[in-house]
């Protein structure tokens, strides 16, 4: 298979070493799209890059770094700029969350959620947007959560950050109307990304287990939806059904249901 060229366009994918981010990287590589992949150091990202290059004939750069660090987002942007890569897809996937009552979080946990889920997503979007606007067609894909629509006990900060991502993305979609940039937000429900989330899905009962998806399923739906120009992407037919029911059930009842569902939290348990 002939290898793609550095002169061709690249997709930047954050949180690419595991879960949905890794699955999105594979999905894009299978479509012969070059990649710049980001995750924390020591997560096997270099091996993933070499595998994608071997399997799909793409160019895949390893851009390890901590996006919760003060200069983390700028370091990723500088990596791309110094290599003079043409980026036509930005995927803000990296995220982190914790379960538990609001008075039980540590300062570090709160900082991690705000720095990664809010600050990094915002800064990367603002830094890459000028270059995206200069192309004939480009995309911004941000990963929110099914839970962004409803205040949920024991996930208060995490889902508040995901609500931020949702409304931030919808706002810039309106702002960029008429430009060449297509903006979309994905709102997956339960996704079996790692051992921790699989455990959480099992603890949260029938509804969570029935709607749970594998990362590859989510990535396939999300990337297809992005290229089709969908504004909001909700993977999973059962999740769509639950979303429809949630629109007609009074908010108070929904909050009571989710409070009971998530009361078996594990303090500090990693969400993403």
pTM of the complete model: 0.86
Torsion of CA 52, 46, 227, 7, to 10 degrees: -80
Of residues 192, 226, 193, 254, the one with CA closest to residue 89: 226
Q: Which tokens go with 22?
A: 């890794």
Q: How many CA atoms lie within 13 A of 34 on its CB side?
A: 16
Unique residue bearing structure tokens 């270059």: 131
Paired tokens of 212: 């749970």
Residue 231 bridge partners (DSSP) = none
Show pLDDT as tens, one digit a residue, over the chain (272 residues).
556 666 699 999 999 999 999 999 999 999 999 999 999 999 999 999 999 999 999 999 999 999 999 999 999 999 999 999 999 999 999 999 998 898 999 999 999 999 999 999 999 999 999 999 999 999 999 999 988 777 788 889 999 999 999 999 999 999 999 999 999 999 987 655 555 555 555 555 545 555 668 899 999 999 999 999 999 999 865 555 555 555 666 666 666 566 566 666 555 554 55
Instruction: Single out the residue of 209, 162, 193 nearest to residue 24, CA to CA.
Output: 193
Q: How far apart are CA 134 and CA 136, in angstroms?
A: 7
Q: Are strands 181-186 and 138-143 parallel, antiparallel or unpaired?
A: parallel
State the Cα–Cα distance between residues 127 and 242, nearest whole angstrom.
36
pLDDT at residue 153 in the model? 82
Cα 219 to the center of its chain, rounded Å: 10
CATH for 9-261 (3.40.50.720, 3.40.50.1580, 3.30.70.360, 3.40.50.300): 3.40.50.720
Domain boundaries, the chain: 9-261
Q: What is the pLDDT of residue 60?
A: 98
User: How far does CA 63 lie from the centroid of its chain?
Assistant: 17
Are the beta carbons of 33 and 139 closer than 8 angstroms? no
Strand order in the sheet with 86-92: 60-62, 34-37, 9-13, 86-92, 138-143, 181-186, 232-233
What pLDDT score does 148 carry?
Answer: 74
CA proximity to 99, closest of 272, 269, 237, 247: 269
Spatial contact of 1 and 29, defined as CB atoms under 8 Å apart = no
């Amino acid at each position: 298979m002939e290898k793609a060229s550095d002169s061709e366009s690249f997709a930047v994918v954050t949180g690419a070493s595991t879960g949905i981010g890794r699955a999105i990287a594979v999905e894009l590589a299978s479509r012969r799209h070059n990649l710049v992949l980001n995750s924390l150091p020591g997560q096997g990202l270099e091996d993933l890059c070499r595998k994608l290059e071997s399997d799909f004939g793409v160019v895949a750069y390893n851009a390890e770094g901590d996006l919760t660090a003060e200069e983390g987002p700028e370091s990723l942007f500088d990596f791309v700029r110094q290599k003079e890569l043409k980026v036509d897809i930005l995927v803000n996937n990296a995220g982190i969350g914790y379960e538990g009552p609001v008075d039980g979080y540590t300062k570090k946990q709160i900082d991690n959620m705000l720095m990664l889920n809010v600050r990094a997503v915002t800064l990367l979007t603002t830094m890459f947007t000028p270059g995206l606007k200069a192309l004939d067609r480009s995309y911004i894909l941000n990963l929110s959560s099914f839970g962004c629509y409803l205040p949920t006990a024991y996930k208060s900060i995490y889902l508040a950050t995901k609500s931020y991502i949702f409304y931030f993305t919808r706002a810039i979609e309106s702002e960029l109307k008429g430009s060449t940039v297509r903006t979309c937000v994905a709102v997956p429900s339960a996704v079996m990304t790692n051992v921790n989330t699989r455990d959480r899905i099992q603890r949260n009962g029938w509804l969570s287990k029935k709607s749970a998806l594998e990362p590859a399923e989510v990535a396939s739906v999300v990337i297809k939806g992005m290229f089709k120009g969908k504004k909001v992407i909700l993977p999973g037919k059962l999740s769509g059904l639950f979303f429809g029911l949630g629109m007609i059930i009074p908010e108070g009842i929904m909050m009571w249901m989710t409070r009971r569902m998530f009361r078996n939290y594990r303090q500090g348990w990693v969400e993403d």
